[in-house]
């Protein structure tokens, strides 16, 4: 069984992503990255991305992680903070700690493509 299936599929991912963005937007260190963003579209892309990355039948239709985050000024501390919020959102949805660790292991290598540390926070791409 894939991670996608074990956590409840698309419905569970949608709930986790909704909770994740509530946490992100309430976080003063992250909210500035999303000013002017088409949030519903971004959430949809995020669900697609997680669905594909976690072994589901979904196909991510957005740009590459590097292209989508280029020039946003994302530092490692920002990336780590998002991962913390994601772990909290997954835990709130009842995902076991071990599975959260497996998900983190899939996502942590993306830091190299997402973190640039240059420029200033601006609205995230609306891919």
Range of the structural domain that residue 88 is part of: 3-61+76-108
pLDDT at residue 119 greater than cutoff 70 = no
pLDDT (0 to 100) of residue 121: 43
pLDDT at residue 127 greater than cutoff 60 = no
- Assess if residue 127 is contained within a domain: no
- Assess if residue 125 is contained within a domain: no
Report how many helices (DSSP H) and strands (DSSP E) the chain contains, helices first.
7, 0
- Assess if residue 114 is contained within a domain: no
pLDDT at residue 126 greater than cutoff 60 = no
Q: Crossing angle, helix 76-92 and helix 97-107, to 10 degrees? A: 150
- Assess if residue 69 is contained within a domain: no
Q: Crossing angle, helix 39-53 and helix 9-25, to 10 degrees? A: 130
Output the pTM of the full model: 0.88
Q: Which two tokens stand for residue 74?
A: 């994302």
Percent of the chain with pLDDT over 90: 87
Instruction: List phi, psi (to 5°) of 25.
Output: -70, -20
pLDDT (0 to 100) of residue 118: 52
- The number of distinct structural domains making up the chain is 1
- Assess if residue 116 is contained within a domain: no
Residue 81 three-state SS: helix
Q: Alpha-carbon distance 81 to 112, whole Å?
A: 15
30-76 pLDDT, tens digit per residue, is 999 999 999 999 999 999 999 999 999 999 999 999 999 988 899 99
Q: Which two tokens stand for residue 40?
A: 């519903």
Q: Alpha-carbon distance 19 to 47, whole Å?
A: 12
CB atoms within 10 A of CB 122: 15
């Amino acid at each position: 069984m894939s991670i996608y299936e074990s956590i409840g599929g698309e419905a569970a991912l949608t709930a986790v992503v909704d909770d994740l963005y509530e946490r992100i937007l309430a976080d003063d260190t992250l909210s500035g990255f999303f000013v002017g963003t088409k949030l519903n579209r971004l959430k949809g892309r995020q669900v697609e991305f997680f669905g594909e990355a976690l072994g589901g039948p979904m196909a991510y239709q957005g740009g590459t992680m590097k292209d989508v985050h280029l020039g946003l000024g994302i530092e490692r501390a920002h990336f780590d903070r998002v991962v913390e919020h994601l772990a909290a959102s997954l835990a709130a949805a009842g995902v076991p700690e071990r599975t959260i660790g497996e998900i983190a292991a899939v996502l942590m290598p993306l830091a190299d493509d997402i973190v640039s540390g240059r420029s200033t926070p601006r609205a995230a791409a609306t891919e």
